[in-house]
Amino acid sequence: MGDSLGKLRAAAVQAASVYLDREATVEKACHLIRECGAKGADFIVFPESYIPGYPFWVWLLPSFEGMDFAKELYKNALVAGSEATQRLGEAARAARAYVVMGCTERQGTALFNSIFFFNREGELAARRRKLRPTHAEKLVWGDGDGSDLFTVEGDFGIFGGMMCGEHFMDLCRYSLYAMGEQVHAALWPGVSAITHFPRYERYFNDFTEVSSRHHAIAGGVFTVSAYGVADEATVAKLGYADRPEMMRVGGGRSAIFGPSGEVLAGPIEDKEGVIFADLDLEDAISARQIRNAVGDYARPEVLSLHLNPKRQRVLVEEEPPRNPHMLEGNPFLLEEEHGGDE
């Protein structure tokens, strides 16, 4: 008889944020989560920085001209343990689903491009940050570190997630394979709505779709790929309602791929919507029999990956702190010394 592997219904949400409005975007996200749950979804993936919206302006404006938008991003960023985070958890619990939420996270005074992983009980089970913001994104987001490479164990199997350009970091992808990833969440922004860079408008969806499919094929994993969308309100808020040569309404090409790269759902392109696919993890067995990136196709005596999982902090107290009252609630102290915040 043997073991049976998990089954699940996955959902990829392609949606526009209520741009730079955390509370309204959280409300919309909770509505979408409940809708997906009503349709039987077990695993719901949202786009990159869905809350409170992707910082399109970093690709469109000189840095100082984008300062007002950067201030709004800061004030509307998601904070772990906040009321907004709790509302998302309540929606996940009501849907009885795992939720993979892309957000701009604020910790202390710093912003990060993050994924919040909620479990079926509505708990914030894990949080990871993008290892390196891509090009102009460095204007608004800080770096993650080795502690942000991990997988999460769900009741159906093991899942992980990455954002946008991390899919071009082959060692980053391989680390998730090596940690047993079976279902992968690929979070992307809807930057194909940016017409100012014709290469992005024409090719972004193509090369990101290839990246998601390649991750599925190379690892023998299911990949749920979710993109953002720029709606009319977003384009207008950014000041490009009458500037089609700079930005347009649309973006995104969400899809769900099987472990041999086959399309299981989608793609949905240039509009909002949700796609679903029923996944049977047993379907990955044959793919891994042919090529197992961490099994028969691994040659650790020739090639291996070294991972430094230590969290990097901007303040490390080598000696007893000068003012012990400063310790409480400080997220930047070395956790091995002072217990940390996680």
Please list the active-site residues. 48, 130, 164
CB 184 within 8 A of CB 167: no
Please provide the size of the chain in residues.
342
Identify the CA nearest to 190 among candidates 295, 107, 269, 303. Answer: 269
Tell the burial category of 189 from Cβ atoms under 10 Å away from its Cβ (0-12, 13-18, 19+): buried
Sorted by sequence, the CB contacts under 8 Å of residue 100 that are 6+ apart come out as 43, 44, 45, 46, 115, 116, 117, 159, 161, 185, 187, 224
Could you give the residue ranges of the DSSP H alpha helices within 220-339? 232-237, 284-290, 335-338
Q: Where are the beta strands (DSSP E) in 119-262?
A: 124-129, 152-153, 158-163, 183-188, 222-227, 253-257
* Residue 156 amino acid letter: F
